Amino acid sequence: MVSNEKVCKERFFILERRKITIARLRSGVNYKGPLDHILDSFYYLYQRFQLDHPEYNYGYYNFGYNKANRRDSKDMPGSDIIVIPSENEFHYHIIDKNGKSVYIDPKNLEKSSTAIKDHILPHIEGKHIVILRSDRGDTVELYKEKVFKNIDCKISVLDEIDIDGGVHALKYHFIRDEKLETVKRKYLFSYWGTEKRKDVDNVDSGDERHKILKEIQEGMGKFPTRFIGKFSLAKRNMKPTKGMRGLLPILNQSKYTLCFNWKDNKATTSRYHEALACGIIPMVYKDYDSTGILVKSNWQRVQSAEELYDKIMERDYEKTFNEIHETYKETLLTKDQIYDIFEKKFLEIIND
């Protein structure tokens, strides 16, 4: 009869041989702490997972924790599982009729695509790919048909909304940890992010935010507003940033924003959590969060730019914010609770 101690040792030995490599396909990341990248929440959770699970070996490609690991594929060949943090990968596959990228600088596109071909693709066959996803456009089909085309590999997704309330509730905590000073809120409305006008292969996505943002900007022309990002119709006040840190001084002076989602009306987004952390009232467009995970008041829902303006004018900002904020905090998970859910789901995926 085999002893429990021997079984445990054998199991540990088997797990110890498994290697998990995190790989950034496009821009490299040196994670030093929260608020410097779109995917801060996932990086924070994955770092904790590594500390809690020394039974796995860990590798890095184009990513590091307080270390700039470049596009060196040394960890790729021996990996069993490859973790790919993914945001806006679909942007790299939107090409116009002239063969030019709609959103990505041609030099950056060529550089990252060449690196994927040389350093990633030769090591994907037969591997388990886990996508840490923070954009509904980065689908399994996109990776199978575009990124890893004609390569036999297993692809799993851990989505931002697979965590109760959304993984980016962590950003609420990260921003609140900054202890922002109370300042005068001189901007009636602010929006930060990118539009979703086009989908893969340059087809119309059906998303309406590019039109709505332009209407908001025109309708609120007499009030101070800020538009941060890249837009085809609205005029921006500031280029997009990699993380939240550079936005905080502006957002801390803003009163309202509008949250959109696409491809899934049940989904929530990072902006809702970021807004409340900065003292901003997050209004939502149409059926955003249709099941009411975060949005508890129908007053926050608007069908048009005109309705948004009317609702903003009818309520006292401070009183309304406090009501929405207190309701939000009633269901807000702690950092530890969010990590526990992530750990459980990540283990289920990599051991499937």
pTM over 0.95: no
pLDDT in tens, 58-99: 999 999 999 988 899 999 999 999 999 999 999 999 999 988
Q: Would you say residue 13 has pLDDT above 80?
A: no
Q: What percent of the chain has pLDDT over 90?
A: 89
- Measure the CA angle with vertex 251, ends 160 and 39; round to 5°: 25
Strand pairing category for 19-23 and 81-86: parallel
Helices (H), the chain: 4-17, 40-52, 106-115, 140-142, 169-177, 209-219, 248-251, 270-277, 305-314, 317-331, 335-350
**Confidence band for 7, pLDDT divided at 50, 70 and 90:** very low
Protein fold of 169-331:
Rossmann fold (3.40.50)
Protein fold of 4-164+335-350:
Rossmann fold (3.40.50)
Tell which residue, 50, 61, 127, has the closest CA to residue 347.
50
d(CA 46, CA 57): 13
pLDDT in tens, 298-307: 999 999 999 9
d(CA 94, CA 75): 30
pLDDT in tens, 114-169: 999 999 999 999 999 999 999 999 999 999 999 999 999 999 999 999 999 999 99
Residue pair 196/262 in contact (Cβ under 8 Å)? The answer is yes
Indicate the SS3 state at residue 180: coil
Characterize 211-238 residue by residue with b for buried, 16 or more Cβ atoms within 10 angstroms of its Cβ, and e for exposed: ebbbbbbebbeeeebbbbbebeebebbe
Q: Domain residue spans in the chain?
A: 4-164+335-350, 169-331
pLDDT given at position 46: 98
Is there a shared CATH topology between the 4-164+335-350 domain and the 169-331 domain?
Answer: yes
